[in-house]
Amino acid sequence: MMHGFIPPQRFFPYLTWTEIDTMSNKENVVIVQPVGAIEQHGPHLPLIVDSAIGMGVLGQALTKLEQSIPAYALPCLYYGKSNEHCHFPGTITLSATTLLSVLMEVADSIYQAGFRKLVLMNSHGGQPQIMEIAARDIHQKYQDFLVFPLFTWRVPHIAKELLTPQELEYGIHAGDAETSILLSLLPDQVKMEQAVQEYPQGLPENSLLTLEGKLPFAWLTNELTRSGVIGDATTATKEKGDRLLESVSQGWVQVIRDIYQFSQPTLS
């Protein structure tokens, strides 16, 4: 089962070269490149969390998507830029330049095959900026190539209904949301008996500066947490994970529809 969570009929590597060569409407076919990470997620979660969430969300979205919209998933890029977690054993990281080169060269191949819409579906919070740089550089190189640098969690979803305000603000790594989704996707790989709650201490109060978001500061994970968890993993449940997965994947159905219909804006 090389396709994992992805419906087999939507898994790009299962196509033959002749099927790709004769594919109709190729300029509007949506090709999705999931980008994840192999990095620590506390004592209770496996290293594969970000990659698993991306593939799980994409798999559900492609299952729900109407068959009339041609969309295919590439294999996940499991290694990402995870150097903020480098002090925790097991984390595997690429440099920003290596990841950027890989994305650029994948895009070259997709373009040469005749496709003109590529989604960089990133699930790791440490690398959205690389997706954005890659997308701009790819589009500059091939100006009829539409590239979308998207973060898995930025579609509409119901996290505000399920998580506490503190968790929404500070639960950015291996906390309630990620643990709940892993309980839905890979329950046998979650060690809930080892789940912990740990929030960063000494953050500036009444400040515009944040861990992530519009006005962030640079940090390494071992400066914020001993366990590797930033958030509250103890409150996670499979029910929350099922509901989060459903809502995020439904958001991705709409995103893929929008991309299929999208045309580059033109000058008047």
Exposed/middle/buried for residue 123 (C-beta within 10 Å: 0-12, 13-18, 19+): buried
- Report residue 93 as tokens: 């990281």
Sort residue 224 into left (φ over 0), alpha (ψ -120 to 50) or beta.
alpha
Q: Cα-flanking dihedrals φ and ψ of residue 124, to 5°?
A: -110, 125
The CA distance from 186 to 171, in Å, is: 20
**Cβ neighbours of residue 122 under 8 Å, at least 6 residues apart?**
35, 36, 54, 80, 128, 131, 149, 150, 151, 152
What pTM was estimated for this model as a whole? 0.97
Of 28, 27, 2, whose CA–CA distance to 13 is shortest? Answer: 2
List pLDDT tens digits, range 62-98.
999 999 999 999 999 999 999 999 999 999 999 999 9
**Cβ neighbours of residue 164 under 8 Å, at least 6 residues apart?**
176, 232, 235
Would you place residue 204 in the very low, low, confident or very high pLDDT band (cuts 50, 70, 90)?
Answer: confident
On the question of pLDDT at 214 being above 90, the answer is no
The CA distance from 248 to 61, in Å, is: 9
List pLDDT tens digits, range 136-155.
999 999 999 999 999 999 99
Q: What is the DSSP letter of 247?
A: H
On the question of pLDDT at 200 being above 90, the answer is yes
In order of their start, the domains of the chain are 9-15+29-261 (3.40.50.10310)
Of 106, 109, 108, whose CA–CA distance to 121 is shortest? Answer: 106
Give residue 226's pLDDT: 98
